[in-house]
Amino acid sequence: MGLRWGLLGCARICRRGLIPGIRASESGEVAAIASRDAANAKAWADEFQIPTAHGSYEALVADPNVDAVYVPLPNELHKPWVLKAADAGKHVLCEKPLALDVDEARAMADHCRDRGVLLMEGFMWRHQPRTLAVKKMVADGAIGKLKLIRASFSFPIDPADWRLDPRRGGGPVWDIGTYGVNASRLFAGAEPERVEAAGLFAPSGVDMAVAAALRFPNGILATIDCSFEQPFVCRYELVGTAGSILVPDAFLPPASGPIATLRTMETASDVGEGSDRHETLTFPAVDQYAAMVDSFARSVAAGSLEAPAEDGVAQMDVLSRILQAARAG
């Protein structure tokens, strides 16, 4: 029997990500779904043939037929429901960002550890075959020594969206800048020793656009930008001493199969002399949510998170430092 999942809410990401991902996985099944509106939970259960619909989050957390809980709730509700799920002995996959600040994230991770359950932040992109292949290429020296990471993620948002409410952990840093931070930390293989940032803020105080610069102790720099006011962009680029890898649709790869562009050159003196070589790399069209679900199941079986998963505490620390630096201006 695979890992039995309970979905704590009827969020958009359940429809487009977790439900099809769990079904496409080798290790999981959707056992239950909950909503504070019982009729809504029942409608989703009927639509997706989910065995059990709960009219409260408490009922789902207490369900003995649920092994793991997915928390897709608004950011300010992550901590209380992660703690309650852990108290009920459920493993937890929590949507990013893990918390509202690093203190919350640390308390959540410690609580889950004390209860003997796993907590993982839901960065599905880390489990893509493309991500793992690109990481290996960098480690194998395909672009020389990695020196710079660039990451951008932006889209215009509906003014009525709850993600513009600063009291609920709104703003693009928490919502999409988190991907650029995650990519930088993954490929740098370290935590930044210095963080600088500048931002644009709405009258409510919520960030609307932020650009950040990170310096890692191993001599790698990263630049990250995110915005709720700019056209859609979603990419990262890894630049080394002998080439670069550009990854389009970085965190939302197309179903037809993700690609990347490898650019290499013989020596630095070749720049401008027409000796650059460009190669388009194609990767398997794998459901990244399914890959994340299977990774989580393996982690549960092993009793610890398998790489490249993480519990989100270090990630939240960097996000907090970026937003603090942007506000200090």
pLDDT band at 1 (very low <50, low <70, confident <90, very high): low
Give the domain extent around 173.
125-289+317-328
Higher pLDDT, 268 or 110: 110
* pLDDT at residue 145 tops 70: yes
Dihedral sign computed on CA atoms, order 26, 28, 30, 31? positive
Is the domain of 60 the same as that of 144? no
Identify whether the C-beta of residue 320 lies closer than 8 Å to the C-beta of residue 102: yes
Out of 100, 123, 146, a domain closes at 123
CATH of the domain at 74: 3.40.50.720
Cα-based distances in Å from 250 to 165, 210, 238: 26, 19, 12
Distance of alpha carbon 273 from alpha carbon 146, whole angstroms: 23
Mean pLDDT of the chain, nearest integer: 95
CB 271 within 8 A of CB 265: yes
279-302 per-position pLDDT tens digit: 999 999 999 999 999 999 999 999
Question: How many beta carbons lie within 10 A of that of residue 203, not counting itself?
Answer: 5
The reply to whether 112 and 149 lie within a common domain is no
Active-site residue among 79, 84, 90, 96? 96
* Residues 86 and 185 placed together within one structural domain of the fold: no
Does a structural domain hold residue 94?
Answer: yes
What's this model's pTM, rounded to 2 decimal places? 0.94
C-beta separation of 254 from 207 below 8 A? no
For residue 99, count other CB atoms closer than 10 A to its CB.
28
For 30, the token pair is 């959707």
Please state the domain count of the chain: 2
Annotated catalytic residue 96: yes
